[in-house]
A and B are shown apart, each in its own frame.
Chain A
Amino acid sequence: MNSKEEILKRLAADGMPESPYPEMDFVPQRFEAREAVFAERLEAAGGRAVRMQPGETLDGVIRRCYPEARRIASTLPGVTLATVDPDAVEDPRELVDVDLGVVRGSFGVAENGAVWIAQDIRHKALYFGATALMIVIPQDALVDTMHEAVVRPEVDDFGYGCFMSGPSKTADIEQALVFGAHGPMSVTVVLRGEN
């Protein structure tokens, strides 16, 4: 008998009484000012949310939020400031320590300031290796809680995906909060309206 069979045999004999799949017997919280809550919780996680102003371009937001960024990697149409095409790079190591990555997110979650990113670029290294990350989501793509988030169609089919809430962080030295443990030091979520 191999290990799988052994484990399954032991589990079959565990004598545990049947427990049914539980129904959700409550209504999860709702936020009237969803965008404001999203922005506030993202800020609490060390990130920030910015709204694209009428007439503003993605380049404009980049310059507004990251005026110092020189090496910018993006595949998004409209980012003419990009100096690196991350999909043209063979070795993901080349994307490490670029000043800014500008990437597409699907939607945000108000209760925790997270954004769902379903990988649509060649190397996910950009999400974690860039010094700063700008995630662009449609302005009205916000849900209240994780209950709604995990059943969204964008979370139904993907190879790699991530709920990302603010920049990389740690408090492993005396509980002092430090941003930029390994991943981005700064994260900005851009709420993009119809311009």
Chain B
Amino acid sequence: MSTHSQSAKRFVADAERLAWHDRALYAVREKRDRMMATVPEWESLRRLSSELKLHTLSHLGDYLCEFERNATANGMTVHWASDAAELNETVWGLIRAHGGRRLVKSKSMLSEECGLTPYLEARGVEAVESDLGERIMQLLHLPPSHIVLPAIAVRREEVGALFERELGTEAGNSDPTYLTHAARRALRPKFLDADISMTGVNFAVASTGALAVCTNEGNADLGTSFADLHIAILGIEKVIPDMKALGVFTRLLARSGTGQAVTTYTSLYRRPAPGREIHVILVDNGRSEWLADARHRNMLKCLRCGACMNTCPVYRRSGGYSYSYFIPGPLGINLGMLRSAERHHGNVSACSLCYSCSGVCPAKIDLGEQIYEWRQQLDELGLADRTKKLMVKGMDFVMGGPPRFYGAIALGRVAGKLPRWMLENGLNPWSAPGRAMPPFAPRSFNAGWKKEERK
């Protein structure tokens, strides 16, 4: 059994929650389909988006330098960080130079990737998540289980109980509107009193040196409205050539991810307001090496919309915490393998190879095909499952000639007559609770065919 199916046991045990999770995410996928139907040129847009990303990646160094030049001319300060440690140190350096301990932050998967929040907390900096879903997860002391819908695995009653404890809301009230507005009130002072604001970045436009930040809640923009230091962090693959490219990506991002025509706010930060500072940190943390991997460099085309998770039958039925990497689903399986095949190869089993993810990706990333490719690479990486390797060797022998093959079938028919307890136990890799071994047909197709012919 793969590490993914082991970890999924807890999630799967709660049948009601599983069914809800599955339906809720598929509903988002269906919203995406309805949005797609309103854009006749949808497939051409996806192709253009994919080609734009490929072009940018093939000139990434040039575009990063162009972005730096223009952003600097606009009055921003640009920093480069080779890895997670350097990102964290750079942020800490900026905070120390600026002063203050209160940081309000909007959603950033990069900060999760680099462990920024715990790093800052260890240094006495309170980094408050301001996206509602992220805030729920922060108060629960749990990581997000989806990159766009962080609290998708949390039920309203659990949020009600959490807010009753943390924010003093009415006992037993789990109405989403009531709870959302309670969070709004509770977070107001965190925005107003913050010394520093931090945001992720969806797109960094090289030609204008502008940062595009997309949110629905307006939390990123509210955060940057009061604090006089804005730290924006982004992976180097987030740079795009120009505004024309921004037009293409903003048509696809929210339609694919949440089934909205566009996010409520697509904010462009170009020049810091008078007396304010914007510091941009460009983070590599493995990306430049992944780009050198011809088989898997496509992963860097990702817009982080989450569509591949919403559509994935395995993700929907196993939840985000069943994966060993902090990003789950088809995207996370692939990124985890790039990060460390040794630590995360258990996730490659969490795929039925239905390729639905590849079909919905707005950058046309071949996510499913790459998972298949990773499985082929397991042996050369020395990570192939020994039992499976042995079985394949056995199959190779059995299927090596007709006598062996038919002999094995005859044996199988005998095995089918064995008592259930001998077949359905932990020694049989095909056996699992709730799944009965299928009975063998009374005779093989070949035998039946021959008998018919004789008639």
Contacts and interface: CB of A to CB of B under 8 A. Distances in A.
B266 A163 contact: yes
Given A14-B291, A124-B225, A21 B262 contact: no
A113 B262 CA distance: 8
Interface in A48-105: 92-93, 96-97
B273 interface: yes
Given A10-B288, A92-B226, A150-B243, A183 B248 contact: no
B187 A8 contact: no
Contact of B262 (A15, A146, A180, A181): A146
A126 to B, nearest CB: 9
Interface in B144-183: 149-152, 154-156, 159, 176-177, 179-181, 183
Given A162-B267, A174-B176, A10 B184 contact: no
Interface string A143-167: 0011111110001001111111111
B136 A172 contact: yes
B92 interface: no
A127 B41 contact: no
B261 A150 contact: no
B261 A161 contact: no
Interface residues of A, number: 76
Interface stretch (B60-68, B321-329, B366-374): B60-68
Given A159-B273, A176-B176, A93 B226 contact: yes
A186 to B, nearest CB: 13
A35 interface: no
A165 B261 contact: yes
B247 A127 contact: no
A20 B55 contact: yes
B184 A181 contact: yes
Contacts of A41: 261
Contacts of B180: 170, 172-173, 178, 180-181
Contacts of A20: 55
Nearest to A159: B271
B216 interface: yes
B82 interface: yes
B132 A146 contact: no
B339 interface: no
A15 B28 CA distance: 38
Given A11-B61, A172-B133, A111 B261 contact: yes
Nearest to A25: B44
Contact of B58 (A18, A93, A170, A184): A18
Interface string B22-55: 0010011000000000111100110010011011
7 contacts: A128-B225, A160-B270, A161-B270, A163-B267, A172-B136, A178-B176, A178-B177
Interface of A: 2-4, 6-8, 10-22, 24-29, 41, 44-45, 92-93, 96-97, 109, 111-114, 123-125, 127-129, 145-151, 155, 158-176, 178, 180-184
Given A7-B64, A174-B176, 14 more contacts: A4-B80, A7-B282, A8-B64, A14-B297, A16-B57, A19-B55, A124-B224, A129-B222, A162-B266, A163-B262, A172-B136, A173-B156, A173-B180, A180-B184
Shortest 7 CB-CB contacts between residues of A and residues of B: A183-B218, A172-B133, A112-B261, A181-B217, A22-B51, A10-B288, A176-B176
